[in-house]
Every structure is written in C-alpha cells, then in structure tokens.
Chains A and B, each alone.
Chain A
Amino acid sequence: MAAPKKGRRQGTQGKPGRTLVFILIALVALTGGMFLSGHTTPRLGIDLAGGTSITLQAKNEPGQKNAINETNMNTAVDIINKRVNGLGVSEAEVQTQGSENIIVNIPKGTNAKQAREQVGTTAQLFFRPVIARQPSAPVDGGKDKGDKGDKDKKDKQGSSPTPGAGDKGTDKDGDKDGKGDKSKDESTSPSPTPTTQGRSVTDGLKDEPTPSGKSSDKPQDKKDETPKPDPTGDPSAKLQEQFAKLDCTDPKVRTKIKEGVKPSDPVVACGKDSDGNWNKFILGPSEVSGKEVDDAKAVFDTTGAAGWKVTMDFSKTGTKQFGEITGKLAGKQSPQNEFGIVMDGEVVSWPFVQQALTGGQAEISGSFDQDEAKDLANILSYGALPLTFKEQSVTTVSAALGGEQLHAGLIAGAIGLALVIIYLVAYYRGLALIAIASLGVSAALTYTIMTLLGPTIKFALNLPAVCGAIVAIGITADSFIVYFERIRDEIREGRTLRPAVERAWPRARRTILVSDFVSFLAAAVLFVVTVGKVQGFAFTLGLTTLLDVVVVFFFTKPLMTIMARKKFFAGGHKWSGLDPKRLGVTPPLRRARRASAPAAPVDPKEA
C-alpha cells in the first residue's frame, strides 16, 4: 500500500507517459498469460458452474459403538472443510447429509483426484515406541502382491526419518516456556543421529539424514530375532503370535490389522522403508497423539539428502510428551530405541533416538514429492478425523443456481455500469473519459488476475463475489471522484489546470490511501482469521482494493497529467468538465487562458 514518496509538486508529472506504458504493458502481459495458460474465464464456484460431488460414508468401527454422532460428524465436516479449502478461496462446500454421510462439493476445474485423497484420509497420527521390528516377507513365500495395486501415497514414504530437535524460530503458543525446552538456547543441539553434525536448517531445525532402513543401524538381517519384551510395554503372547504370522505384503492383512485398534494398547503394524520393503512391528501404546501436532509444513530439505519432508511443531503438551518418550527410548538397544510414527494404522517412519528431544519438533522424511509432502502437512495441520470414512460415490453436479442468476447479475451489473457512466458524463463531462478509461483498466486487471488465480491458487468466483466485484466498481470510482473534486476545488481557487492537477494530487492521494487502507485492513483481518466463504470474500475485497490503488496511482493520475496538457482540458472547454465558468470561479487573480472557441476537435462523447 505504500506509495512511492515523491516530492510535492513533482508527483508523476515528470514521466506520466512512462507510467502509463508500464501499466499497459502489465495489462498486456497479464492478458497474454491468461491466453497462454488456456484459461480465459475465471473459475466459477459450484453455485454458478457446478462441479464434482463426493459422498463419504462414516464407517462403524468395532469397539466404537457410538462414534457416529452429530458432534463427530460436525468435527469431521470442519476438518474436511479446512483440507479442501486450504486458502479459503476455492469455494468447496462440505455438509452432512443424513446421519452418516458427508457431501463434499468441489467446483469444476479442481483436481478431483487429489481432493478425493485429501478428504478421505483419516489422518490419525500416533507416536508409539517400537518393541520389535522385522522385515516382513510373505509367510507362505507367496508373491509380493499388493505393492503395485496399492497406490496409497503413504506407501511410498520409505523412511529415513529424523526427529528434529532444536529451537524453533517462531513460536506460536508459548512453547518457549515450560520444561521441555532446555535445548532452546543451544544453537547446536546434537542431532539424534549417529553422525552428529548439528546443522541449522532455515527454521532452526536440526536434522540429519539418517541411514535408511538398509544401514547397519537398522538391522534388517535379524530375521530370527524374537522380540524382546520391553519393560515399558510387555507384548502379550497373543501379540507375539500375531507378529510372527504377520505378512505385511498382503494388503488384505494390512487392512485387517488396522481394525479396532485402540491407541492405549500395544499393536502390530506394518511399514514400508524407502526401498519399498515391508517391515512388521510390535508397537507399544501411543505416547503422543497427532492431536498434539500444532502445525505441519512441507519443507524442501536442501541439506543432506535433498528432498521434501514434513516438519511438525508440537503443542505444549505434545512437546512435553515427546520429550519424555524420546528420553525413555534414548540409549536403548535397537530396535527399542526407535519410535514409530503411525499414520492411519501404518508406520510411516521409525526414526531412532539418541537423546531426549525437547525442542517440540519432529519431522517425517521419505521419498515425498512436493504435492505429497504438502498434502500430508495439510492433513496433519488440520488434525485427524474422528471417524473413518468410505467414499460412497463421486458424481458431477450441475450448477446450484443455474446460469440465469449469473446472466441476470451480469446484465444488471452492465446496466448499472451504464448508468454510472451516464451519470459521470453528465456531471464530469470530459473528465468522465478519464474515469471510464480507468474503470476499464480496473475491470480488465481484475478479470485477468482472477482468471489467472484459478489455476494457481484454485480461486473460484461465486455469485456473491461477482456482486462484490460490481460493488467494487463504485469504490474504485470513488477514488477518481475524490481526485476530480480536488482538482475542481483547486481550479475554483483560481488556478489553471496544470498546477491544479499537481496540487490536488497529494491531498487526494492521502485521502485515497487512508480510506483504502481501512478496506484493506478489513480484508486482511478477515482473510487471516476466517475460513470458508468469508475467507474467499476477504480475498476478493483485498484484491480489488489493491487494484484500486494501483489503477489510481499508475493510470488515472498519469493520464490526468497528460490530459492537462491538452488544450481541450487546459483551455477549460465547456465540455471538458473543467470549465472555470461552470465551476463558478470568480474571475481568477491570474490570467487564465480561456480559449473561447478552441479549434481542438471535440472528443466524441458516447456514454
């Protein structure tokens, strides 16, 4: 919002032409980009264009009799809403249908497949100590089936995960205090890896690429190793037996062992390392739950093994719990010094611990690509669904409002705009040309930017946003009106046009900036705080406010400066809107050049 500070009376007078050329180039570039991207219309919301509707059905889990209730369903709706509506501008809608279904409507042009993956994932995350781990081979020596058929992205995350310790650069919720932060001030706390070279990553996170599952630290060749009973959680004989029989290569088996699992019990589980080999685990009861993850980010790790990883910040409680569990595990024998990060029943990684990690952070690394890391981070940030869902149907839905609403809206908007133009011409005469040109530029910028935001941030325009854009016309026009009135006031003072244009600018500029800042503040606050449609609105408001300032500064003002040199305006032609006589100027003190009948061609006036 900051305007380039220019000396008073200078303004952009020096080179208005250059500024004009600049904004026109920007406009051409945007339009060109729009055509190149192949999207020539803004993405429309469901209400206007329809889209895809996904119906999810809550599944009854054994052992959770009354899990499907209104509270849980509403929580699930909120979480799914955040997942599909990351930025709040995509206009996706989530609502319950009946007692056990959730409908997710996604506007046309969204990547439906990706969205489906996001809404369906339960995202229950637990940190459990590893009691026993073995590579899992088919028990019957059968084929390794299921690897190919299982497209689940989590399977691709082999893991060379490391719990990152260290101080956090930004601290959202008072992790700073509390016990769990002794390493805060140590700029290099040893990393939990055998090779200790503490390095700072951008956010103050220390981490190390750990040897992957193949390394000698994570022995894989102990097939005959029987799990040692762990003092913290003695696996029952039943569990031992289950473990011995477990074949993780069979997807059916993998699904089966996830059923009816309670976080407070030891379990058997499966996990895949980065080479795609399955490991089977006995895991102790959950020590930290994913609920304690405050925030998760996808980070590109430029150090060590370059690649995408997901870093997590724990809450206060989580930090404490995580410090405790890692403290307990540190110094134990492999594999009991490892903890499993279990996502939806599958072990996504099993980093081992060298010392208590009290920095309140952990990370999951593996062979992610960018989208996978982002999706996982997104899912983790917004928490676990209280229920498991099954995708029931995916269908296309037609527009909720039908085209006639949009048509009527656009027609009405056009009529309104025509009325505005007529009014401006009646009142401002020639000046209206400048206003209309500015409105045109403003409209063109808004349209192209909104169109380009469709593919980039999934921005979708719904009917309220269209109306908002129409109202924004009025607010944009206000900036011109403020400026024109200032110019006229200066002329009433008896100034000629050119000095009037320059003197009026700083005063008008301040008014425009102060009032636009208020609008922008509203947009920014609402965008940060709210979710869903309100957030989408805030985005539109912020965008139009910014464009208003840009257009006035880089188009209207320079154009006015140029026009002020034209005889038609400077001479105060009676059609110019700047006729001193009409403005009721008492004969000026200085000589005002008033061409009584200018030879300049009168510009055609069309409304």
Chain B
Amino acid sequence: MSKLGNLGARLYRGEVGYDFVGKRKIWYGISILITITAFVALMVRGLHMGIEFEGGAVFNTPKTSVSAAKAEEIAEEASGHQAIAQRLGNDTLRIQISGVDTDKSDHIKSELAKELDVKADDINADLVGPSWGDQIANKAWQGLAIFMILVVIYLAIAFEWRMALAALIALIHDLTITVGVYALVGFEVTPGTVIGLLTILGYSLYDTVVVFDSLKEQSKDLAKQTRFTYSEVANRSINSTLVRSINTTVVALLPVAGLLFIGGGFLGAGMLNDISLSLFVGLAAGAYSSIFIATPLVADFKETDPQMKALKKRVLAKRRAAAAKGESEEAPAPAAEAGEDAEDTPAVVGPRSGPRAQPVRNRGRGRPSGKRR
C-alpha cells in the first residue's frame, strides 16, 4: 500500500498526473459511441416493459422439474407473446406473460399443465392490469424535470453555470447508457429498474459535485497567476481527487456487484438482478462521467471565456519566454495507474516539486509583512 500512498502524495502535489483533460476528445468519442449504441439499442430492441407497467398474466406453478428455459418456450408457444419464466428457490416456476387476455389464459394454463405434468387447477393464473399506471410514470417524469431544473439552478449558484451544465450533461449521459444497457441485455423494466435509475440520478450528481468542489477550490485565484491554464488546473483537481474517486467507486460498487453476481447467481433472474444491473451500470457510468466527461466539459466551456483565453495566452507566452531562456518546464513523470489505460504521459502540470513547497516568488499579496516583490 505504501506505493499507493506515495502515489497519492505525488498525485496530490501534482508531481504525477494523467492528462484527463488533454485527452478529452478520446473520452468524448468513447461516450458518444456508447450513447449512440444505447440509442440504437433502444430504437431497435426497445425496452421490455414489465408486467407492472403493461399488465398481463402471471402463472405460478407448483413444484416441477421442467427447466425455466423449457417453460418459457412452452408459454411462448401457447401465448404467442414474449414470456419470461423464472425458477424460484423452491422449485416452482413463475411465468410472466405480458399482454395476455382472459380467454387465452385458460388455454395457456392447460398447455402448461400438460407440459409441466401438473394439474391445471394447481397453476394459479392471475390476469393483472398495470399497478404502475400512467399516472405514476407521468408524475415520475414530472419530478425528474423539476429536479433537473432545480439542481441546475443550485449548482449554478453554488459553483457556476458552466459546471451546472456539465453536470447535467454527465447525468443525462449516465442515464442514457444505463437505459441502453437495459435494452441490450433485454431485461424487463420493473419498478426496481426505475428505482435503480433514480438512485443513479442522485449518485451521478453527487460524484460530479465532489470533483467540482475540488476544482472550484483550486481555481479560486486563477486569474492572478500566470503559471497554469484553466484546463491544467482542472486536470490537477481531477488528479488530486482521483484517489477519493477510485475508493468511493470501489466502495459503492462492491455491494452492488455482490447483489448482481452473488444474488443473481443464487436465483437466476429476479427483482434483485433488475435493480443491481441498473445500479451497477449506472454507478460505473456515474464514476466515469464525473472524471472523464463532466470536468473536461467544464474546462472546454471555461476556455471560451475571454478572461480564460487571455490567461491561456499569458501562460503560453510566459512558457515560451521561459523556454527561450533555455529552462525546460517539462519534467517527465511516471504515469499514474489511473483510469483504464496507464500509458506514459508527460506530466501536465510540471513544477519540480509540490506547489506548496515552491519558494513563494512574485507574490507580495497576502503576506502579513506586506513585503513587496
């Protein structure tokens, strides 16, 4: 762990760092690709709305040795509709068929009874309407819209509008990816899914805000110096919170991974899988987007600001002057094992030691002595 600790320290001081912001085109590209895939999946495959949204029929069979896959086949043949059969822990089957009407249900029941070798009377069939009526869905959309407006206002006040916008884009990005994965995997959308999505909504913003908070802190007196551009500072703030981001993501994902792989492994399909899949994908996307999407976006937005443009000019000019003097600003540093690819990258921000350990030159302000340069 000491290696890690050391790495943390060097990340903190900005001795090492991975150029997240500089490579932003790659991340944007990856995200756009995934988002497009998600959209295509949605268009082509669509979402399977579960029985709670569409209504349909549920058949519960007594103990049987027939496999779930076989039962699914039988049910689909009998009904002509998509069926989902699940084997429950006690060897009974639960077969859900959406979009089945009454006269069909008896037929399906007898078919099932025949194939599963049980009495038709023992299969309990229930025809149900959606328990999640349109109203619940509409209200949920309404709530989402209101929340997004409020959160943008709040972030614009607490940080600035650029960050608010970037956070919103990251949020939409996370939700789209999660929904897209659902369409790809073909899981049914249940109330659990919706609740998973809403959890992601909170978490995605939460995570982004933590990174933004550090960015805000580090870019406080940006205009008063000529050493770094905004993008470089943004990158440094990502790097300095990187350890926290990785740890948090691991800690948040571990229990969910437990639910998804262990819980799902125990039981096959079920509510647990629904929820944990959406959570797993969403949390991972949320952690990714707060580092790779949201912060670079802020840097992009910010660099269009005339003040920041001027700063960039000044910084570059100063660096050129320094380079002309023959001072090399670049100090190659070992790459941080950050993100998924750890290639050798030059340090982004390259003072020879931590910013704080620098002799404080060119700064008379803030000294109690009031000493001028």
Residues of A in contact with B (beta carbons under 8 Å apart): 47, 73-74, 77-78, 81, 93-98, 103, 401-402, 404-405, 408-409, 411-413, 415-417, 419-420, 423-424, 426-427, 429, 463-465, 467-468, 470-471, 473-475, 477-478, 481-482, 485, 488-489, 492-493, 507, 510-511, 514-519, 521-523, 525-526, 528-534, 537-538, 541, 545, 579, 581-586
Contact B154 A585 (CB under 8 A): no
Which residues of chain A are within 8 angstroms of B198 by Cβ–Cβ distance? 522, 526, 534, 537-538, 541
Question: Which residue of B5, B102, B132, B154 is within 8 Å of A517 (Cβ)?
Answer: B154
Contact A424 B251 (CB under 8 A): yes
Which residues of chain A are within 8 angstroms of B205 by Cβ–Cβ distance? 515, 518-519, 522
Contact A412 B89 (CB under 8 A): no
Which residues of chain A are within 8 angstroms of B50 by Cβ–Cβ distance? none
Docked pose: A132 CA to B206 CA in angstroms = 66
- Given known A-B contacts A517-B154, A541-B202, A582-B1, A416 and B134 have beta carbons under 8 A apart: no
Min CB–CB distance B150 → chain A (angstroms): 6
Q: Choose among B126, B247, B270 the residue with the greatest number of A CB atoms under 10 Å from its CB.
A: B247
Docked pose: A98 CA to B102 CA in angstroms = 8
Residue of A at shortest CB range from B257?
A416
- Given known A-B contacts A471-B252, A474-B252, A96 and B55 have beta carbons under 8 A apart: yes
Docked pose: A533 CA to B279 CA in angstroms = 17
Contact B154 A521 (CB under 8 A): yes
B100 at the interface (CB under 8 A from A): no
Min CB–CB distance B371 → chain A (angstroms): 20
- Chain B, 311-352, CB within 8 A of any chain A CB: none
Contact A514 B209 (CB under 8 A): yes
Give a binary string over B207-223; 1 marks a CB under 8 Å from any A CB, 0 the rest. 10110011001000000
Which residues of chain A are within 8 angstroms of B89 by Cβ–Cβ distance? 402, 404
Min CB–CB distance B269 → chain A (angstroms): 11
B136 at the interface (CB under 8 A from A): yes
Which residues of chain B are within 8 angstroms of A401 by Cβ–Cβ distance? 270-271
Question: Which residue of B2, B90, B251, B267 is within 8 Å of A481 (Cβ)?
Answer: B251
Docked pose: A439 CA to B220 CA in angstroms = 34
Docked pose: A468 CA to B193 CA in angstroms = 11
- Chain B, 252-277, CB within 8 A of any chain A CB: 252-259, 262-263, 266-267, 270-272, 275-276
B128 at the interface (CB under 8 A from A): yes
Which residues of chain A are within 8 angstroms of B207 by Cβ–Cβ distance? 515
- Given known A-B contacts A485-B244, A522-B205, A541-B199, A514 and B213 have beta carbons under 8 A apart: yes
Residue of A at shortest CB range from B262?
A412
Which residues of chain B are within 8 angstroms of A93 by Cβ–Cβ distance? 131
Contact B199 A474 (CB under 8 A): no
B203 at the interface (CB under 8 A from A): yes
B356 at the interface (CB under 8 A from A): yes
Min CB–CB distance B51 → chain A (angstroms): 10
Contact A77 B270 (CB under 8 A): no
- Pairs A-B, 10 closest by C-beta atoms: A474-B252, A416-B255, A416-B258, A584-B9, A96-B129, A529-B143, A404-B89, A412-B263, A584-B6, A95-B131
- Given known A-B contacts A411-B263, A416-B255, A464-B195, A530 and B136 have beta carbons under 8 A apart: yes
Min CB–CB distance B259 → chain A (angstroms): 4
B250 at the interface (CB under 8 A from A): yes
Which residues of chain A are within 8 angstroms of B142 by Cβ–Cβ distance? 529-530
Contact A510 B196 (CB under 8 A): no
Which residues of chain B are within 8 angstroms of A492 by Cβ–Cβ distance? 9, 12-13
11 additional A-B pairs beyond A475-B203, A516-B206, beta carbons within 8 Å, are: A94-B131, A95-B129, A411-B263, A411-B266, A416-B256, A427-B4, A468-B199, A511-B210, A537-B199, A538-B198, A583-B5
Give a binary string over B125-165; 1 marks a CB under 8 Å from any A CB, 0 the rest. 01111111111100110111011001100110010000000
Question: Which residue of B255, B266, B354 is within 8 Å of A408 (Cβ)?
Answer: B266
Question: Which residue of B202, B251, B259 is within 8 Å of A409 (Cβ)?
Answer: B259
B118 at the interface (CB under 8 A from A): no
Which residues of chain A are within 8 angstroms of B143 by Cβ–Cβ distance? 525-526, 528-530, 534, 538
Docked pose: A73 CA to B2 CA in angstroms = 66
B285 at the interface (CB under 8 A from A): no
Docked pose: A415 CA to B264 CA in angstroms = 13
Contact A402 B88 (CB under 8 A): yes
Residue of A at shortest CB range from B190?
A464
Give a binary string over B46-90; 1 marks a CB under 8 Å from any A CB, 0 the rest. 000000000100000000000000000000000000000000111
- Using a Cβ–Cβ cut-off of 8 Å, how many residues does chain B contribute to the interface with A? 88
- Given known A-B contacts A416-B256, A474-B255, A530-B139, A523 and B275 have beta carbons under 8 A apart: no
Question: Which residue of A94, A404, A475 is within 8 Å of B252 (Cβ)?
Answer: A475
Which residues of chain B are within 8 angstroms of A519 by Cβ–Cβ distance? 202-203, 205-206
Residue of A at shortest CB range from B128?
A95
Question: Which residue of A427, A429, A518, A531 is within 8 Å of B154 (Cβ)?
Answer: A518
Which residues of chain A are within 8 angstroms of B275 by Cβ–Cβ distance? 463-464, 467
Contact B271 A405 (CB under 8 A): yes
B99 at the interface (CB under 8 A from A): no
Question: Which residue of A98, A471, A510, A516 is within 8 Å of B255 (Cβ)?
Answer: A471
B17 at the interface (CB under 8 A from A): no
Which residues of chain A are within 8 angstroms of B134 by Cβ–Cβ distance? 74
Docked pose: A402 CA to B6 CA in angstroms = 49
- Given known A-B contacts A98-B102, A409-B259, A411-B262, A478 and B248 have beta carbons under 8 A apart: yes
Contact A532 B146 (CB under 8 A): no
- Chain B, 1-35, CB within 8 A of any chain A CB: 1-2, 4-10, 12-13
Which residues of chain B are within 8 angstroms of A586 by Cβ–Cβ distance? 353-354, 357
Which residues of chain A are within 8 angstroms of B353 by Cβ–Cβ distance? 586
Which residues of chain B are within 8 angstroms of A478 by Cβ–Cβ distance? 206, 210, 244, 248, 251-252
- Given known A-B contacts A408-B266, A584-B6, A485 and B129 have beta carbons under 8 A apart: no
Subset of 21 A-B contacts with CB under 8 Å: A81-B135, A411-B263, A416-B258, A420-B251, A464-B191, A474-B253, A481-B247, A485-B241, A493-B356, A515-B213, A517-B154, A522-B147, A522-B205, A525-B150, A529-B142, A530-B136, A533-B132, A533-B191, A534-B143, A584-B9, A586-B354
Docked pose: A77 CA to B55 CA in angstroms = 13
Docked pose: A478 CA to B244 CA in angstroms = 8
- Given known A-B contacts A514-B209, A518-B205, A98 and B254 have beta carbons under 8 A apart: no
Q: Choose among A96, A465, A545 the residue with the greatest number of B CB atoms under 10 Å from its CB.
A: A96
Which residues of chain A are within 8 angstroms of B132 by Cβ–Cβ distance? 532-533
Residue of B at shortest CB range from A585?
B9
Q: Choose among A103, A419, A471, A475 the residue with the greatest number of B CB atoms under 10 Å from its CB.
A: A471
Question: Which residue of B150, B240, B271 is within 8 Å of A463 (Cβ)?
Answer: B271
B308 at the interface (CB under 8 A from A): no
Contact B256 A470 (CB under 8 A): yes
Question: Which residue of A417, A477, A528, A532 is within 8 Å of B248 (Cβ)?
Answer: A477
Which residues of chain A are within 8 angstroms of B256 by Cβ–Cβ distance? 416, 470-471, 474
- Given known A-B contacts A519-B206, A530-B140, A103 and B244 have beta carbons under 8 A apart: no
Residue of A at shortest CB range from B203?
A475
Contact A95 B272 (CB under 8 A): no
Docked pose: A83 CA to B135 CA in angstroms = 14
Which residues of chain B are within 8 angstroms of A477 by Cβ–Cβ distance? 248, 251-252
Contact B128 A474 (CB under 8 A): no
Residue of B at shortest CB range from A470?
B255
Docked pose: A335 CA to B140 CA in angstroms = 49
Docked pose: A75 CA to B290 CA in angstroms = 42
Min CB–CB distance B141 → chain A (angstroms): 9
Which residues of chain B are within 8 angstroms of A404 by Cβ–Cβ distance? 88-90, 266-267
Docked pose: A388 CA to B201 CA in angstroms = 41
Question: Which residue of B8, B214, B217, B266 is within 8 Å of A584 (Cβ)?
Answer: B8
Docked pose: A485 CA to B134 CA in angstroms = 46
Contact B195 A468 (CB under 8 A): yes
Contact A488 B202 (CB under 8 A): no
Min CB–CB distance A563 → chain B (angstroms): 19
Which residues of chain B are within 8 angstroms of A582 by Cβ–Cβ distance? 1-2, 5-6
Docked pose: A470 CA to B259 CA in angstroms = 9
Min CB–CB distance A183 → chain B (angstroms): 34
Residue of A at shortest CB range from B9?
A584
